[in-house]
């Protein structure tokens, strides 16, 4: 009887030891869900480390993404720095409905879960074709993504997602001697490609990263990162950096030809400008300027500028905005 008691005591000690030395950190991710559609999500491991805390001995390979019922959701990691291991610049991607939980353990026996890829990538004529049974996206040599198919619709559906338009004065030394230099203007397709990375497709998304620079404005650099999700959602992140003094008068991010090949009634929709040169010259507000042209649409009590995409209003609106935010 004494030996049996000793066995149970030892077993209890072992179980308590496991409970003490195996811990988890749980991070909740919530969206204000308006539909029952999956929501795409991207997080860097640097951001995840900030949430988990440096004092927790995390095994990053133990990471799990779970829904509100505790079921494992597909996720994938993007090895951004290509060092073959999880590091701060790498990305975690997943999709979820309403709520998800990120679970990280300090149990070093756990490893990443494996899921089948949901997208295909094919290189053809200098472009990359990202496809699923629902859509097809072309990515050109500048890292710009364009939808050419979505469900039953085919054509130039939405082009050059996240392309930048930049204008400035080449060789400006204005703050030294007042010399502006030559005016130059282009879009991302007019820049030079320093590096293009199309990462392996996974169960959630395909990520494309392009590093571009502008020869006419030495020191101007663009990094465009595009995440094409299995849901058909695309997240584009633009980062502009300067390694030299650059005199810029225009820098905007946009896309081109939205649905115009399918519907000649497609429209441009833009936030109402806070300031606009033409309106100030007339002594009226930007709202009144566009209201007079029957180009204001109210959405949730907020005014938006709306006009035909293939028949722009006169005078042309581009160049007129001093501050569109």
Per-residue pLDDT tens digits for 168-206:
999 999 888 989 899 999 999 999 999 999 999 999 999
Q: Which pLDDT value is given to residue 315?
A: 55
Given a cut of 70, whether residue 11 has pLDDT beyond it is: no
Q: What is the pLDDT of residues 233-253, one digit of tens each?
A: 999 999 999 999 999 988 989
5 pLDDT band (50/70/90 cuts)?
A: very low
Could you give phi then psi for residue 280, rounded to 5 degrees?
Answer: -65, -35
CA atoms within 13 A on the CB side of 20: 6
Instruction: Evaluate the CA torsion angle 304, 310, 316, 318 in order and state its sign.
Output: positive
Name the more confident of 319 and 104: 104
Cα 237 to Cα 155, 191, 246, distances in angstroms: 25, 17, 22
321 pLDDT band (50/70/90 cuts)?
A: very low
Q: Which pLDDT value is given to residue 14?
A: 39
Return the residue matching tokens 């879960």. Answer: 113
Q: Which of 96-100, 237-241, 261-265 is predicted with the least confidence, judged by mean pLDDT?
A: 261-265
Closest CA to 144 of 63, 79, 224, 48: 224
Q: Please tell me the distance from the alpha carbon of residue 111 to that of residue 62, in angstroms, as a whole number.
A: 5
Q: Which pLDDT value is given to residue 83?
A: 93
């Amino acid at each position: 009887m004494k030996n049996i008691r000793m066995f149970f005591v030892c077993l209890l000690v072992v179980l308590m030891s496991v409970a003490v030395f195996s811990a988890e950190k749980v991070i909740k991710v919530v969206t204000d869900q308006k539909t029952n559609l999956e929501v795409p999500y991207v997080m860097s491991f640097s951001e995840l480390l900030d949430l988990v805390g440096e004092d927790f001995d995390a095994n990053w390979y133990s990471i799990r993404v779970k829904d509100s019922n505790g079921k494992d959701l597909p996720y994938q990691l993007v090895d951004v720095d290509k060092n073959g291991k999880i590091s701060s610049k790498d990305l975690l991607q997943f999709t979820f409905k309403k709520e998800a939980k990120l679970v990280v353990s300090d149990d070093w026996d756990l490893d990443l879960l494996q899921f089948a890829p949901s997208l295909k990538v094919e290189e053809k004529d200098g472009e990359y074709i990202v496809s699923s049974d629902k859509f097809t996206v072309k990515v050109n040599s500048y890292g710009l993504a364009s939808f050419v198919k979505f469900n039953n619709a085919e054509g130039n559906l939405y082009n050059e997602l996240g392309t930048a338009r930049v204008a400035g004065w080449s060789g400006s030394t204005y703050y030294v001697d007042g010399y502006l230099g030559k005016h130059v203007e282009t879009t991302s397709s007019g820049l030079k490609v320093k590096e293009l990375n199309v990462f392996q497709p996974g169960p959630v998304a395909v990520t494309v990263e392009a590093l571009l620079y502008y020869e006419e404005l030495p020191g101007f650099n663009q990094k465009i990162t595009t995440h094409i999700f299995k849901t058909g959602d695309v997240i584009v992140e633009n980062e502009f950096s300067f390694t030299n003094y650059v005199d810029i008068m225009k820098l905007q991010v946009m896309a081109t030809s939205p649905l115009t090949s399918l519907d000649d009634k497609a429209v441009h929709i833009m936030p109402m400008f806070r300031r606009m040169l033409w309106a100030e010259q007339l002594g009226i507000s930007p709202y009144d300027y566009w209201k007079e042209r029957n180009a204001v649409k109210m959405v949730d009590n907020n005014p938006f500028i709306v006009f035909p995409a293939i028949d722009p209003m006169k005078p042309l609106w581009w160049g007129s905005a001093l501050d569109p935010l």
